[in-house]
Amino acid sequence: MQTKSKSNLILEQSVKRILQELGMDSEREGLVKTPKRVAESLRFLTRGYREDPSQILLKAAFSEKYNQMVLVKDIDFYSLCEHHLLPFYGKCHVAYIPNGKVVGLSKLPRVVNAFARRLQVQERLTQEIASAIETIIKPRGVGVVIEAFHLCMAMRGVEKQNAYATTSEMLGIFESHERTRLEFLSFIRRDVSK
């Protein structure tokens, strides 16, 4: 395995080469440090590969008799589209119904970040978050809804600046019981009159 500094150097050289292939003078004052900055930025934006979402949840799971919906909504996230390496960002809403175990509330946004800070597609991101929660704490059900704005649709391609994508994953009671699913969706619904 490469050392981090050797890996960083290879990444920096690759960015410099990309700049040159785009016709840029990579030695111009404003671009001299760009390869290093981009390499550091990419490491930060993909740090989720170095995080284990299951460990995040396991460290904060504890027994509790609470059996009603637990919801953390409007979790801000940022990710990179794996198709164009352009950002997509938005809100993630996560709910589960405990089955003898709960997790610390702050762990749900941490799990969202661990998966979002990888090269992603929104559909898989939604599924991965729900699956991790289901696998680790084994609740009666999990619901995840993501609303995101994709720069690959806004800046290139169809160039639609106001289009948001919504994805959902409903597991367990959220999938099998309409009332539970509708309760979750009513909690995250936005009041557009405000």
Instruction: List active site positions.
Output: 81-84, 122, 150, 152
Give whole-number Cα distances, 178 to 34, 92, 133, 185, in Å. 51, 21, 20, 10
Largest CA distance in the chain: 63
Residue 69 region by backbone torsions, left for phi larger than 0, else alpha for psi between -120 and 50, else beta? beta
Give whole-number Cα distances, 11 to 16, 18, 34, 43, in Å. 9, 11, 12, 10
